[in-house]
């Protein structure tokens, strides 16, 4: 966490994220982004918002995610513009809608409702989930959860999730019965039930994440058989949070599947980078350079390799963008 930085350091981060020199490696730009995210102030919102001019869908997707996690309402106008842009990559538009759900302002309800009929399925589904989250946050259950705050097991995961875990696993350590096969089976059944609203299936997903056992990972991996790219991409994201070695085979399978959505494969690559076991590195290196690898997959592998190297190093924190940012500033003579 960056408590406070000087104006020159802020300028360095801006130059790094926005690639002012034209030769800042993507993984350094990601580190600058997550350093800015930790600031949670208006300067960070402004700089991150400028990044949407970049041609990289992966970077813009991550910009939107960070704006949502910062939970600054000043970012809503930028996120709305991204969602409303029909020429923007659907992966970026979906993330903008999800970020609006994370910020959870009732002001976002009209625009999210408008795009429930978007031509792109992932955008439609994300708007559905974001609206359900805003509704839940303003319900009695949601308000009670906000007042009591996160505790116990939830402290492991500091992210603002698209949906809260299934009731009973909202806070505190899981009860003994929550870790039985019966409980996991019930959550798996909800997770895979395509007749249920996506929001409820997501709640089961995050409940399984909070259990975190090998059986819970197996239940989550079963979700890769779904036909929704959005749903599968969220499972891969959850595996990136869990950092369970048990999930590696299913993630490698997703990364290697050329018929799978780029959005899902990219998230699988980044999850593998975070898990950072020796066997994942050759796969990440392969898909970073393969000619048939889509750009978003190649770039995700580059970032994932940087994550892998960080996890296997003695670096204190990943969001150390100031180290690379100073280089970016000197390169442009700032």
Q: Is 234 annotated as a binding residue?
A: yes
CB 232 within 8 A of CB 253: no
Q: Is 266 annotated as a binding residue?
A: yes
Q: Is 267 annotated as a binding residue?
A: yes
How many angstroms separate the CA atoms of 182 and 191, rounded? Answer: 14
How many angstroms separate the CA atoms of 185 and 68, rounded? Answer: 32
Provide the 3-class DSSP secondary structure of residue 34.
helix
Longest CA–CA separation in the chain, Å: 62
Tokens of 112: 């999210």
Please choose, from the candidates 276, 289, 222, the residue with its C-alpha nearest in 3D space to the C-alpha of residue 254.
Answer: 222
CB 87 within 8 A of CB 57: no
Q: Is 128 annotated as a binding residue?
A: no
Please choose, from the candidates 172, 163, 268, 264, the residue with its C-alpha nearest in 3D space to the C-alpha of residue 206.
Answer: 163
The dihedral through the CA atoms of 288, 294, 295, 297 has a sign that is: negative
Q: Is 61 annotated as a binding residue?
A: yes
Q: Is 200 annotated as a binding residue?
A: no
User: Residue 164: what are its φ and ψ, rounded to 5°?
Assistant: -75, 155
Question: Which residues 6+ apart lie within 8 Å of 321 measured at CB?
Answer: 13, 16, 17, 28, 31, 32, 33, 34, 35, 36
How many angstroms separate the CA atoms of 293 and 304, rounded? Answer: 15
C-alpha distances out from residue 127 to 30, 198, 207, Å: 26, 11, 21
C-alpha distances out from residue 116 to 110, 140, 161, 239, 303, Å: 10, 25, 20, 27, 32
Question: Which residues 6+ apart lie within 8 Å of 17 measured at CB?
Answer: 29, 32, 33, 36, 47, 48, 51, 321
Per the document, the length of the chain is 334
Binding site for Fe cation: what residues are annotated?
61-62, 94-95, 233-234, 266-267
Binding site: what residues are annotated?
61-62, 94-95, 233-234, 266-267
């Amino acid at each position: 966490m960056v408590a406070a930085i000087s104006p020159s350091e802020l300028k360095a981060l801006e130059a790094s994220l926005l690639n002012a020199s034209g030769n800042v490696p993507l993984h350094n730009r990601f580190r600058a982004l997550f350093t800015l995210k930790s600031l949670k102030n208006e300067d960070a919102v402004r700089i991150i918002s400028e990044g949407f001019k970049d041609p990289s869908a992966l970077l813009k997707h991550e910009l939107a995610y960070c704006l949502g996690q910062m939970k600054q309402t000043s970012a809503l106008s930028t996120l709305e513009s991204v969602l409303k842009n029909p020429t923007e990559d659907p992966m970026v538009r979906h993330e903008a809608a999800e970020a609006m759900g994370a910020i959870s302002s009732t002001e976002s309800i009209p625009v999210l409702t408008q795009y429930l009929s978007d031509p792109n399925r992932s955008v439609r589904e994300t708007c559905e989930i974001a609206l359900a989250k805003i509704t839940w946050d303003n319900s009695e259950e949601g308000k009670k959860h906000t007042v009591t705050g996160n505790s116990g097991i939830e402290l492991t995961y500091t992210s603002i999730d698209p949906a809260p875990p299934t009731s009973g696993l909202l806070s505190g350590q899981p009860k003994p019965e929550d870790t039985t096969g019966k409980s996991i089976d019930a959550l798996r059944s909800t997770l895979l039930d395509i007749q249920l609203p996506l929001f409820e299936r997501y709640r089961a997903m995050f409940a399984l994440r909070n259990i975190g056992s090998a059986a819970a990972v197996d239940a989550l991996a079963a979700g890769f058989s779904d036909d929704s790219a959005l749903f599968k991409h969220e499972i891969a994201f959850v595996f990136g949070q869990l950092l369970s070695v048990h999930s590696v085979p299913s993630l490698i399978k997703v990364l290697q599947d050329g018929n799978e959505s780029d959005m899902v494969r990219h998230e699988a690559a980044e999850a593998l980078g975070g898990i950072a076991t020796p066997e994942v590195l050759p796969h990440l290196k392969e898909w970073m350079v393969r000619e048939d690898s889509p750009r978003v997959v190649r770039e995700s592998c580059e970032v994932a390799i940087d994550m892998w190297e960080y996890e296997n190093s003695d670096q204190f924190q990943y969001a150390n963008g100031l180290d690379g940012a100073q280089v970016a500033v000197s390169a442009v003579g700032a």
